[in-house]
Amino acid sequence: MEYIIHLIILFGIYGILALSLDLIVGFTGLLSLSHAAFYGIGAYAVAVLSTTYGMNFFVAALIGMSVAAVVALMIGFVLRKFKDDYYALASFGFNVIAVSIFLNWESITKGPLGIPGIKRPELFGFVFSTNTLYMILTLALFALTALFVWHITKSSFGRVLRAIREDEKALEVFGYRITRYKLAIYVISGALAALAGALYASYITYVDPSTFTANESIVILSMIILGGLASLRGAIVGAAILIALPEALRFVGLPMDVAAQLRQVIYGLILALLMLYRPKGMYGEYEMK
């Protein structure tokens, strides 16, 4: 049962990441590969503030989300000059820089050694000490995130995001300041990713730079491509599949000496077949450009 609870917690965390990235990639059409960086900012904020300053998880998480939002605003100003593949490469570069900072700012992040001993959340004296309680907290925050993202996509703001994806130049003709919308959604998405990072850090009780590399950004992107772009249901289903699939492959009975490598091959093959025969993902409205 503890194993199932563990998977549900991971699903809640990655569900938040997938929903937040879908706002940028799915609805706005901006191929961002920087999401793991904001994920890491949230995780390190909670790690540092809770272990060094004894700060409450919820306060630390809010600070982490605020820091991620400010960083996203600054990076967004740079990214606004790029389009398409150049946007993806520039955002990828930011993720590499972020990991380098996590590795080398040892006075704060402890470098490659990471930060252990992160406390579980506490609210009015109630500690989410067991995994069952943590699962409830994670699912509650995931549900709030899903509701928030749903409201964005159904609002006039969300309709502008879709229009940016469809025809950015035509929208500019009608007087819309496209850059502001791109910056706004990038900031919102970065803050939500930091919330997922805060949950991850407090759950694992340890963070180190290896968790937040560009590979992690690609995994999160794979979730929304698999589930389908511009589909909240698709983002959620994609996160669930990519959390469950590697775990399911553990029970296939592969030879022990090559099990890890074969699992990766099977995992990649399944994804390739899905992308080949379902180019819009499972529930998506758009194909990946």
Walk along the chain (289 residues) and give the pLDDT tens digit of each residue: 888 999 999 999 999 999 999 999 999 999 999 999 999 999 999 999 999 999 999 999 999 999 999 999 999 998 888 887 889 999 999 999 999 999 999 999 999 999 999 999 999 889 998 999 999 999 999 999 999 999 999 999 999 999 888 877 777 777 788 889 999 999 999 999 999 999 999 999 999 999 999 889 988 998 998 888 889 999 999 999 888 877 776 776 666 666 666 666 766 777 677 777 777 788 877 666 5
207 contacts 47 by C-beta, under 8 angstroms: yes
Question: Sign (positive/negative) of CA torsion 225, 227, 168, 214?
Answer: negative
Note the maximum CA span of the chain: 62
Q: Measure the CA–CA gap between 204 and 286, rounded to whole angstroms.
A: 35
Please work out, in degrees rounded to the nearest 5, the angle formed at the alpha carbon of residue 10 by the alpha carbons of 5 and 13: 130
End-to-end CA distance of the chain: 41
The residue type found at 239 is A
Q: Work out the number of other CB atoms within 10 angstroms of the CB of residue 218.
A: 15
